[in-house]
Amino acid sequence: MGEPGDIGTLLRIMARLRDPHDGCPWDLQQDFSSIAPYTIEEAYEVADAIDRNDLADLKDELGDLLLQVVFHAQMASERGAFAFADVVAAISGKMLRRHPHVFGDARAGDAGEVVANWEQIKQRERADAGDTDGSALAGIARGLPEWQRALKLQKRAARTGFDWPDVAPVLDKLREEIGEVQAEFETAAYSDNHARLEDEIGDLLFVCANLARHAKVDPGSALRRANLKFERRFRAMETLAAARGQAMAALDLEQQEALWQAVKRDEKDAL
C-alpha cells in the first residue's frame, strides 16, 4: 500500500475499502448522510483530547478525523463530483485568499483586524458565488450545534450595533427569562403546552449563550467543564457510597445530597 505516513497510502486504503467487488461490506453501505454523524463525533473527540491535554490521543483522534475527510472525498470521487486533491486545492486557495496580509499586499495590525478582513472576504466570496442573501446573518450554517449557531448569530448581529453595551442588561434579561420559564411551570396546564415551555427554555438558553459571549467564555467549553465536573463528582459519590456498603439507587435524595456535599468538601480540601 505504501509508506504509512504518506497520505496516498490512506487514500488507497479508503479506495480499497469502497471497492464494489471485494471491499468492506460496511464501508460500501455508507453514504454522506450516514457518515456525517461520525464526522461530527470525531471532531468532538479531538476537542476532548485537547481538553485532557493528551497529545498521544490527539494524534489518534486527528487521524480519525482525517479519515472522515478521506471517506467523504472517496464517495464524492465515485460520483465524479470531486476528489481528495480537489479538497486540498479548495482549502489551499481559500487560505491564500483570506490571508492577503500574509500572502499579498494587505496589512493587518492585530487579530481583530484579521477577523474583520476575513469576514469581508467571505462576503465577497458569497457574492461571487451568486449568493443574493445580503443579511448580516448570511452564511451561518444550520448544521452547527445550536449553542454554536446561537453564538454566531449574536456575534453577527452585534457587528451591526444590535447588542447590549455590557453584561448588566444581559443579566437582567436572564432573570426575566427565568421568570418566564417559572411562570410556565406554575401554569396548571403547562404539561399540555410543551411547545410553549420549549420556547421559553430556548429563550433562556439563548440568553445564557449571550452571557457567555459577553464574558468571552465559549459556552461549549463551559458546558464541557460542567459535564466533566458533574461526572467526576457523581463517580466520587458512587465510590463513597460503596465504601459505606450502600448503593446510590437505594439512598433517598437527602442522603444523596449529603454525599454530594461531602465530595465537594473533599475537593476543596484537596486544593
Question: pLDDT of 61-70, one tens digit each?
Answer: 999 999 999 9
Window from 2-16, 183-197, 203-217 with minimum mean pLDDT: 183-197
Q: How far apart are CA 77 and CA 74, in angstroms?
A: 5
Quick one: angle between helices 194-214 and 167-186, nearest 10?
160
Longest Cα–Cα distance of the chain, Å, equals: 71
For residue 240 the three cell numbers come to 463513597
Q: How far apart are CA 200 and CA 206, in angstroms?
A: 10
- pTM check: above 0.75: no
| Residue pair 65/38 in contact by the 8 Å Cβ criterion | no
Based on its alpha-carbon atoms, the radius of gyration of the chain, rounded to whole angstroms, reads 25
Predicted pLDDT of residue 121: 85
Reported as a single tens digit per residue, the pLDDT across 220-265 is 889 988 999 999 999 999 999 999 999 999 999 999 999 999 999 9
The confidence band for 5, taking pLDDT boundaries of 50, 70 and 90, is confident
The confidence band for 3, taking pLDDT boundaries of 50, 70 and 90, is confident
Tell me how many degrees the CA angle 223-213-219 measures, rounded to the nearest 5: 10
Predicted pLDDT of residue 188: 58
Reported as a single tens digit per residue, the pLDDT across 196-232 is 889 999 999 999 999 999 999 999 889 988 999 999 9
Predicted pLDDT of residue 190: 59
Q: How far apart are CA 265 and CA 17, in angstroms?
A: 53
For residue 141 the three cell numbers come to 450554517
